[in-house]
Structure 1
């Protein structure tokens, strides 16, 4: 029996990379695997090479997680690709992605692409947002898929891992992937009217990046609702900066409770108003005293 990694799943096509042979094979489910469970890209499988082109999948190893969109298993890290301009930065979308990926056990990394397009004033705004997320304990990387600037940092971060690129359409996920791997995937150009991507990637393919890393693209997101994935009372656990502050009550929701350490930190400027507003929006809450808290 040999071990392999499912690196592509498109409709009925399955491709398995076998490290000991350093090549891909067409994967064919056998026996109980065909009835037991669905196979995802990212699945670690066990089976046999039955001929020069075919790998018989006899079993699937236990998964650490499964993402729904794109359907990928065992994801270690998600590169959340955003842009300050073209399209304009949507911090609520990013905050929602961060909550969901933290919840499923993937380490998010925030990548701001298209920095070659920014004016001096744009760069000041980019640095302000970067400081907010760095202070919240996220890795933030500035890159340009056009010039290649900053891409070496992504390669360092994903060493030995399965990772995917996620973010809004038009942010340049597939362009970054092409720059990193040389592989051409279908990309969506940004519409001049909407500044949104016209097309999104289909299927799931993980591409080797060297040093045991595999990276894949994903469909573009225009909206993510955290409450579809995370219970309302648990959302607070995935705002990392909230966890540094103690409240009077252990089950504090950081809304109207007395003795809330998060709201005190917000008033002191230790928590970003933009992040706290995203938290309220996810919970579909509104606080009349928000203006007082945020100054």
Structure 2
């Protein structure tokens, strides 16, 4: 049987890219497959070519992960796109997203877009947040889709992976996608009133670029609640820098327990106060816990 990747999934339409043939076929799942599982973009499938346009899907390989919105399987990297302005940077939204995507067993990567718009004070703000997230252990890239800055570096970084773009409305996800795949996709201008773009993504489609690299877009949003996906007591496991410290109690919540190494690291400046504050907000703890830790 031949191996393919589901790259297009909308209503009853399934598009399967066959690696050997380097082209897309219409995928028709056998009844035995339909009875066992649904098929999503990102699924690796096995089957046979029926005619020049059709591929019979005989088997769906086990998934390593699955994103719900949009429904995509086997994602290697989630590119969380943010901006310093247009729209204004929201670290709380970003940290919620990072927790969710860590929980879903993907590798979240932070992309700061629209760097061409920044003036001196905003460049300093970008540097500050870049240092915070790099110190926390995240890969981070600066790009400008509008000016084509950093796009080639991003292409190289994503080679051979299945990735999706995520982030708030208006940050330029579709513009980045257009630059990566070399095809202009529909985008809409950011509203001057709300500084947010209007959603232009429909269906679920993975676009091929480079050498067997695939990337998809996601709907934009203005808020995400990590606790919808993750149990409150487990949020601490998805703040990467917290894992570098060993507290007295293995199940320490880093809030009120004695001999908490994470709180001491915040006090010593080893963990950014901004990140710890967002952690407390995510788990809905009293922010008075910041007293005597952050100046």
TM-score relative to the length of structure 2: 0.98
Q: Is the 8 A contact 1:75 1:162 kept in 2?
A: yes
1:229-283: CA deviation from partner (whole Å, max 9, x where unpaired): 1111111011011111111111100011111111111111111111111111110
Aligned position for 2:76: 76
Q: Secondary structure at the match of 1:41?
A: coil
Q: What is the 5 A alignment of 1:80-95?
A: 80-95=80-95
How far off its partner does 1:202 sit? 1.2
CA distance in 1, matches of 2:65, 2:152: 27
Q: What is the 5 A alignment of 1:20-39?
A: 20-39=20-39
Q: What is the 5 A alignment of 1:161-240?
A: 161-240=161-240
Q: What is the 5 A alignment of 1:3-18?
A: 3-18=3-18
How far off its partner does 1:12 sit? 1.3
Gaps of 5+ in 2: none
Q: What is the 5 A alignment of 1:121-160?
A: 121-160=121-160
CA distance in 2, matches of 1:221, 1:95: 14
Moved more, 150-159 or 23-32: 150-159
Q: Is the 8 A contact 1:189 1:199 kept in 2?
A: no
CA distance in 2, matches of 1:109, 1:188: 24
Q: Is the 8 A contact 1:173 1:217 kept in 2?
A: yes
Aligned position for 1:54: 54
Q: Secondary structure at the match of 2:193?
A: coil
1:8-34: CA deviation from partner (whole Å, max 9, x where unpaired): 111111100001111000111112112
CA distance in 1, matches of 2:3, 2:104: 25
CA RMSD, 1 decimal: 1.0
Q: Secondary structure at the match of 2:222?
A: coil
CA distance in 2, matches of 1:157, 1:287: 38
CA distance in 2, matches of 1:203, 1:225: 23
1:190-230: CA deviation from partner (whole Å, max 9, x where unpaired): 11101111224111111111122101111112111111111
TM-score relative to the length of structure 1: 0.98
CA distance in 1, matches of 2:244, 2:44: 36
Q: Is the 8 A contact 2:7 2:15 kept in 1?
A: yes
Q: Secondary structure at the match of 1:293?
A: coil
Aligned position for 1:288: 288
Gaps of 5+ in 1: none
How far off its partner does 1:188 sit? 3.3
Count how many residue pairs are aligned between Structure 1 and Structure 2: 295
CA distance in 2, matches of 1:289, 1:26: 56
Structure 1 runs of 4+ aligned residues shifted over 6 Å read none
1:133-168: CA deviation from partner (whole Å, max 9, x where unpaired): 000010111100011111122112211110011101
Q: Is the 8 A contact 1:169 1:200 kept in 2?
A: no
Aligned position for 1:246: 246
